[in-house]
Amino acid sequence: MIENYLLEELITFAHEHTLAKTAVALNVTQPTITRGMQKLETMLNVHLFDRQPNRITLTPTGQLAAQEAELLLAQQRAFVTKIQNYAQSLVTLNAETTLPGPLALLSYLKKALPDTLQVNPALITIDQITDHLINRQANFIFSNQEILTTDIESRFIGSENLVVHLQKFMYRANQLSITFEELQGMSFVVLSAIGIWKDIIQQAIPDAKFLYQPQRTAFTEITKYSDFPYFSTNFTALEREQRIDTNDNDNRVAIPISNDRAHMPIYVNYLVSNRQSLMPLFKQFEAAWPTTMKKSSTL
């Protein structure tokens, strides 16, 4: 059995190219590295290094060994992480999302949900979904992606529908609905962490200006003392009932956007093996999903 520290020394040497730099990177002495490399060659019964009077380099075999060692240690770390996450999942439920809306739903339902449910407030990316589920980092993940594989499946929960808030004296504010095309050239104040909605509004209104605000308090102040339009959804309206920083004197009118891209299907992604245990939660989400337009909170 080859010890991990020998593989770490080989990998580090492949990156640093000298024994001296390898020793510094690993915070050990150079003779320690030399003995370790000699021991590894003996255990493998191959030549890993080309030793010259003032220089030592990896042989082709050594280069391959370093590459394989790196893969092996990565697999070991993934193994440890997966087992630890699985053990944790037996006592807690972990929820993640690629969109901000479901965070409002989970907060709204908090008192009715299991005490063991832990919600990651940071949005993850779509390409992280499969890895986080397989490695048990999350029990379920909200996204706009329907994933159907041998291990993962998805359940449709509801739609998130985009709304724009326009100053009530604008002529467009009298409409029952509006299109992205009618919003061309306007300037909007927008919260930064809105997931895929950011790509949608930027692509749908390419000549608009978006004044992104990383903090909700700053966003609220801007909307309170200016007439900039902003976006909301039927979904994030749930937040308004729990916040105290809303602008109750807002002189804007909420108008639904009619384009297809303004109506996003939301799924919950999960491991097939967890379907039965998670189904009661999913039914709670469906029952609480806001399907009608309330006075919305913001995107």
Token duo for residue 293: 């337009």
pLDDT at residue 297 in the model: 42
- CATH of 143-299 given 2.70.98.40, 3.40.50.300, 3.40.630.30, 3.40.190.290: 3.40.190.290
Which amino acid, residue 188? F
CB 86, CB 285: distance < 8 Å: no
The pair of three-digit structure tokens given for residue 14, joined into one six-digit string: 């492949």
C-alpha span between 159 and 146 (Å, rounded): 13
CB 257 within 8 A of CB 264: no
The architecture CATH gives domain 4-85: Orthogonal Bundle (1.10)
The Cα 197–Cα 199 span in angstroms is 5
3-state secondary structure of 25: helix
For residues 152 and 135, give the distance between their C-alpha atoms in angstroms, rounded to a whole number. 12
Q: Which one has a higher pLDDT value, 241 or 194? A: 194
CA separation, residue 85 to residues 71, 114, 235 (Å):
21, 19, 30
CA dist 217 and 31 (Å) reads: 57
- Interaxial angle between packed helices 30-44 and 4-16, expressed in degrees from 0 to 180 and rounded to the nearest 10: 110
In whole angstroms, give the CA distance from residue 177 to residue 255. Answer: 5
Mean pLDDT of 62-66: 91
pLDDT recorded at residue 131: 93
- Mean pLDDT, residues 148-162 taken together: 94
State the residue for tokens 């990998």: 11
- Number of CB atoms found within 10 A of residue 95's CB: 19
Average pLDDT, the chain: 87
**Residue 223's pLDDT band (boundaries 50, 70, 90)?**
confident
State pLDDT tens for residues 248-258.
567 888 899 99
Q: How many CB atoms lie within 10 A of CB 157?
A: 19
Q: Please check whether the two domains, 4-85 and 143-299, share a CATH topology.
A: no
| % of residues, the chain, pLDDT over 90 | 45
Mean pLDDT of 226-230: 89
Phi-psi region of 165 (alpha: psi -120 to 50; beta: other; left: phi over 0): beta
Q: Residue 85: is its pLDDT beyond 70?
A: no
In the predicted model, what is the mean pLDDT of residues 72-98?
81
Handedness of CA 145, 146, 149, 155 (dihedral sign): positive
Q: At what angle do helices 4-16 and 60-89 cross, to 10 degrees?
A: 120
pLDDT interval class at 244 (50, 70, 90): very low
pLDDT digits (tens, 9 = 90+) for 2-20: 888 899 999 999 999 888 8
Q: Is the pLDDT confidence value at 240 over 80? A: no
For residue 248, what pLDDT is reported? 55
pLDDT over 60 at 298, yes or no: no
Measured distance CA(30)–CA(24) in Å, rounded: 8
Predicted TM-score (pTM) of the model is 0.66
pLDDT of 299 reads 62
Which range, 135-139, 199-203, 213-217, 218-222, has the best average confidence (pLDDT)?
Answer: 199-203
List the domain boundaries for the chain.
4-85, 143-299
Quick: pLDDT tens for 261-297.
999 999 999 999 889 889 989 999 999 898 754 444 4
Rounded distance, CA 235 to CA 146, Å? 19
